[in-house]
Structure 1
C-alpha cells in the first residue's frame, strides 16, 4: 500500500477553474444564508449519520479531512446523486462509521457539487464512483473502487487498518489505551472558531481566527497555511485563469501579471511552475519590481508545508537569483 501527500490546491486544471469559481461563489452565498454548501440531498448528512459522518466541500476538505486525519483516520466517500452503486455503498459506510464510534470518521464528497475535489479524483486516475479513499496523518491513499456487500466492506476496513498498523502508518494502541480518535483533548477554542468559520464559508472570520493564533505563536504552521490559502482564494476571485496565464506569457516584464499567473498555477496544481515563474521574474527585474516578485513568492511558500521539497528547492533557487 502506498501513500501520497494530499493538497487540495493541486486539484484543479485550467479548463475547470472558471466553472469551479462560479460554483464556489454559489456555495459561499448559500453558506452565508445558513445553508451547508454541497450538502443538500446528500445521503450521508450529519443529521442522518451523527457526529461520525460529515459532508465536506472544496472549501472544508482541508479542515474536515486533512487536519482531522492527524487525530483520527478518515474514510472519504466520493459519490453523486445519479450513481446507483453509491446509494448502496453509502449507507453501509455510514452504518460502519457509527458502529466505530470515533475510531474513524466518514467524510462524504458530492463530486457534482465540488469540482475541485472531482478534478483531484481524476488526477489520481480514478474515473468511476463510488470511490473511497483513506486519509491518515495528512496522507491520502486509494482504498475501495465500487460497491460491495456489507460483510465485504466491513472485512476490507478491518484489513485496511491492520495493514496500516503493520506498515507503521497507523500506530497500534497498547492494551488498555484508547483507540485512534478516542480520549483526545478538546481542541483549542480558537482553532475551533477557525474551522467553524471555514465550514460556514466565512473567510473573514476564519482569517481573524488564524491571525489570533499567529499573534500568540507566529510560527504556528496550521494558522500560517490557513491564512495564506484564504488570501490566495481572495486574490483569485473571479480571475479568468486562461487569460491570466496568456497575459503573463505575453509580457514577461509585467510583474503584476506574473504574480496573478503564479496564483493561478498554484491553484491549478502547477506549484513548481508558479515558483519557477516568480524566480525568473526576480532574475530579470530590479528594485521595487524584484521585491514585489520576491515577496509574492514568499507568500506562496506559506501555502505548502514548510518541509515540502518543492519549497526547499525554490528557496535555494531564489537565493541564487538574488545573489
Structure 2
C-alpha cells in the first residue's frame, strides 16, 4: 500500500462548533437512501458527492484489466456489507470514466479516496491487507462522526452470492495464505497442477500467489526506485515490474519486464523470460496488453 497526498485523516476533525458545509444542521444522522455499492461515473459524481454529507463514501478507482484492482474492489464490497451501511462504496472504472479519475487526481490504479461532505480525502494507492484496510475505514468513520456525518445506508438482507463455491484447492491455499505460509500455498497449487497439467487456471493462480509473496511487506515505490537506480541487478529490475503491476500500471509492468529480457543474456535472460510469462498469467492471457507483449517478446527472442 502506498499512501499518497500525505493527508492525515485526523486533520479533518471539525473546528469547535463547526459542521460540514453541506451537512444538515445538527449533523447528518439516521438512515439514508441509496444503494450500498454504486458504480460511479461523471453523470453520478455530483449525486454521490452530495450523499457524502449524510454517509461517508469510499471511492475505489479500478480497472478490470488489473487483478490487483479487481481483488481490492471485491474486498471493499465485502467490507461495505460487513460494516452494515456505515459507508457507501462507489466504484469507478477508470477505463470508462477517466474524467472522474482526473477530477479525483488519481495517478494510478487502484486508488482509494474518501468523500466527506463532498470533500475528497486521499487514502491510498495500490493494494492493502484486509487488517490495515479495516483500520483505515475505522479511522475514516471516526473522523466522519466527529464531523457529524453519522448516517447509514439502509441495508437489505444480503443477496445470495453469485460466486462459485470455493474448491478444496482454493480453500487449502487460502488457509495457508491466512497463516502467512506463502510457500505452502504455492505447494498446494504445485500439487494440483501435477494432477491436472492442462488446467491453465491453476497455473495462473499459482503465479498470482508467487507475485503476492514477492510483494508481501514491500513498498512498491521503494521497489520502483531501486529498479531505476544505476547498476540495479536482475532481481531488482524484475521487482520493479512486480511493483508496477501492484500499482495497477500494466503497461509499465510489461515494459519493464520486456526490457529486462532485452538487456540480459544466457541464464539471466531465461529467468526474466519465465518471470514475464508468469506475469502474463497474472494479468490475463486474453488482455490486449498481454497479446501485444507476447509479440514483442517473440521479436526479442527470435
Q: What is the TM-score with the length of structure 2 in the denominator?
A: 0.48
Which structure: greater helix fraction? 1
